[in-house]
Amino acid sequence: MSEAGIKVPGEASVPEGLVSSVVNLVGTGPVPLGAYTIAELTAVDAIVDFLEARPSDEVLAEAVRSLAARQLLVAGPSGAQVQVRGDLGIAVAFQQRARTVLDARATGTEPGEPWRILLLPQPERICLVVRIDALGVHELGLYTLDEALGLLEALLPRGPQADAGPAADRTGDSDIDAVLAGAERSALVTATPYTTDGSQEIAGDSTDLVLARRDGRLHVFHRDPDDRGALVPGTPGGKDVHSTLADLLA
């Protein structure tokens, strides 16, 4: 796939047939697209609007040199643009096609596990997945939607769901805080639709889901639609967690 050359900044110029070829390839199994630092992704304007901090100019300059040395970043024909090549170029192209990002962050993870995962679904029911570990390495890959959902669920706390009936509806803020404080593992899942203006992502209204495993039971909360600063028990639509996550990705 090294023939892909994606121009940056701005909207990606995607070689004809690239998308269909990659989609067909994902149908045969996951397609790994390499591992990169936040500086390397920032240098090619990939997923930067979903990350917290912009690296310093010195760190970015070193990242550009590293990408150029690996021939992943080359000067374009006009000299006014650069091209992102290879698997990183494919990742940039698919990121720019996405219009939703699902961002999951977990606490209580173990060494070797990612602590954060980004899923960017595509119209062809495949998904660009970014897994981020404690060292800040961003591992990129393309998966079918079902495979991506499996990777997401592996990160989240699991267990038999705690009661979400009428008694749970009376749970106060202090009780929710106690559940989260005593959780063996917890996660915040945020689904955000977005539009683009050139290379800039413009976020729409997000949907949040909070999961926490405490004493072997899974507690689920979502934002109160009447008070966005408060959490209420259960999922937004009252479905099970798997169906809710699938709906967020659809």
**In sequence order, what DSSP letters do the residues of 137-190 get, joined into one string?**
-EEEEEEEHHHHHHHHHHHS--SSBPP-SHHHHT--HHHHHHHHHT-SEEEEEE
Q: Per mean pLDDT, which range of 64-73, 117-126, 171-180 is the poorest?
A: 171-180
Whether the pLDDT of residue 28 is over 50: the answer is: yes
Give the model confidence (pLDDT) of 180-199 as tens digits. 999 999 999 999 998 877 65
| C-alpha separations of 172 from 14, 177, 213, 244, 249 in Å | 51, 9, 18, 24, 30
Cis? peptide before 9, omega within 30° of 0 = yes
Q: Locate the domains of the chain by residue range.
A: 5-153, 156-249
Beta partners for residue 201, in sequence order: 196
Beta partners for residue 197, in sequence order: 200
- pLDDT tier for residue 9 given thresholds of 50, 70 and 90: very low
Whether the pLDDT of residue 53 is over 60: the answer is: yes
Q: Per mean pLDDT, which range of 76-80, 81-85, 171-175, 184-188 is the poorest?
A: 171-175
CB 106 within 8 A of CB 115: yes
Give the model confidence (pLDDT) of 105-123 as tens digits. 999 998 889 999 999 999 9
CB 226 within 8 A of CB 122: no
- pLDDT tier for residue 203 given thresholds of 50, 70 and 90: confident
Amino acid at 224: D
pLDDT of residue 213: 95
pLDDT of residue 49: 64
Give the model confidence (pLDDT) of 126-144 as tens digits. 999 999 999 989 999 999 9
3-state helix, strand, coil in the chain (%, to 5): 30, 35, 35
Return the percentage of the chain with pLDDT > 90, whole number. 57
CB 232 within 8 A of CB 222: yes
Q: Quote the pTM value.
A: 0.86
| C-alpha separations of 107 from 25, 103, 136, 178, 213 in Å | 34, 14, 15, 15, 11
